[in-house]
Amino acid sequence: MDFWRERPVFVTGGTGFVGSWLVRELVDRGAEVVCLVRDEVPAAHLNACGYRARVATVTGSLEDHRRLERVVNEYEIDTVFHLGAQTIVGTAHRSPLSTFEANIRGTYNLLEAVRAHRRTVTRVVVASTDKAYGQHEVLPYTEEAPLQGRHPYDVSKSCADLLAQGYAHTYDLPVVILRCGNVYGGGDLNFNRLVPGTIRTVLRGERPVLRSDGLATRDYLYVRDAVAAYLLAAERLQTLPRPGEAFNAGCEVPVTVLEVVRLILSLLDRPDLEPVILDSAAAEIPRQYLSAEKARRVLGWRPTYSLERGLRETTAWYREFLAER
């Protein structure tokens, strides 16, 4: 707890799904948090839980380099968590340019702002994802696997990841990269994602609709475990042998889409709502899951939530949230 007390921290994407949980934890640990906010979303988790009033917020976008540099300089930022991004695969497929602008340009803008104020910034954690690896035949993915995204979202994350490595190795920036599996939990208002979308549909008494064939396997990580990984990566950064290290964070248990949906149906006591399978999804990687051995060994991180336990908390969160709507 003392590590974060009165430490100036800049979080991009701080009002987003994962960012809001991270900000909550940082505030509870005494950090002085500044969030970059592009759009005002009244129902956002950070607003609903009351933590928005406990942080400084700067309105702006990742595409605005001057705004980013002003924040880093004027708030004398010590630690940066770069979670801001366009994170929806379908949105990226429909509009790749806006995704590239936010995820690629936004990342090098932030890294340039850090480079300009290297004397004050001591650590930068860049949020990557298993999608940055693209598709590989050898599973699970280790950190040595090449980054070879092929579809717009995956490409944007491959590029952002490589940019972070490039700035770390070229300019000796104190950067660490975290590649998470599919993060889920309460507070995710993108209902086109599997977990929140399924929960909302089932709570309405409707059959969940799957865009895929339901057989794609993924590594599902509960949001509290993801936040713990981000914090540990930042805390241990300066003990790492070199800047630009990457770590996978996942449960190492591949689960199919159908298995996740059926578990949600069971937790909500609606096993009668048989899923509708459209099998129409485009640009989907059939099988992905991560090895988190390096994170266990170097960072001392390991997930503490099973999928059932995480989904139990998640369904309870949405039941309460949606009942108020």
Question: At residue 2, what are phi and psi to the nearest 5 degrees?
Answer: -65, -25
Q: pLDDT higher for 325 or 68?
A: 68
Q: Is 142 exposed, middle or buried (0-12, 13-18, 19+ CB in 10 A)?
A: middle
Give the CA angle between residues 86, 92, 94 to the nearest 5°.
140
Read off the DSSP letter of residue 313: H
Q: Which of 54, 46, 41 is nearest to 21 (CA)?
A: 46
Enter the pTM of the model.
0.96
User: Domain spans of the chain?
Assistant: 8-184+221-251+288-303
Q: Give the pLDDT confidence score for residue 1 in this predicted structure.
A: 65
CA 198, 20, 143, 93 torsion-angle sign = positive
Statement: residue 325 has pLDDT above 80 = no
| Whether the Cβ atoms of residue 15 and residue 41 lie closer than 8 Å to each other | yes
Token readout for 47 is: 């607003």
Q: Give the model's confidence band at 279: pLDDT under 50 very low, under 70 low, under 90 confident, else very high.
A: confident
Specify which residues 153 forms β-bridges with.
none
Q: Which CATH superfamily is domain 8-184+221-251+288-303 in?
A: NAD(P)-binding Rossmann-like Domain (3.40.50.720)
For the chain, give the mean pLDDT: 95
Give the tens place of pLDDT for each residue, 85-115.
998 888 898 999 999 999 999 999 999 999 9
Tell me how long the chain is. 325
User: Of the residues 141, 153, 222, 289, which is catalytic?
Assistant: 153
State the average pLDDT over residues 73-84.
98
Q: Give the pLDDT confidence score for residue 283 in this predicted structure.
A: 65
* Concatenated DSSP letters of 148-182: B--SHHHHHHHHHHHHHHHHHHHH---EEEEEE-E
Q: What's the order of all strands across the beta sheet hosting 245-249?
A: 56-59, 32-37, 8-12, 79-82, 123-129, 175-180, 245-249
Token readout for 227 is: 């936040």
Q: 153 an active-site residue?
A: yes
Q: Which single residue is written with the structure tokens 């509290």?
A: 224
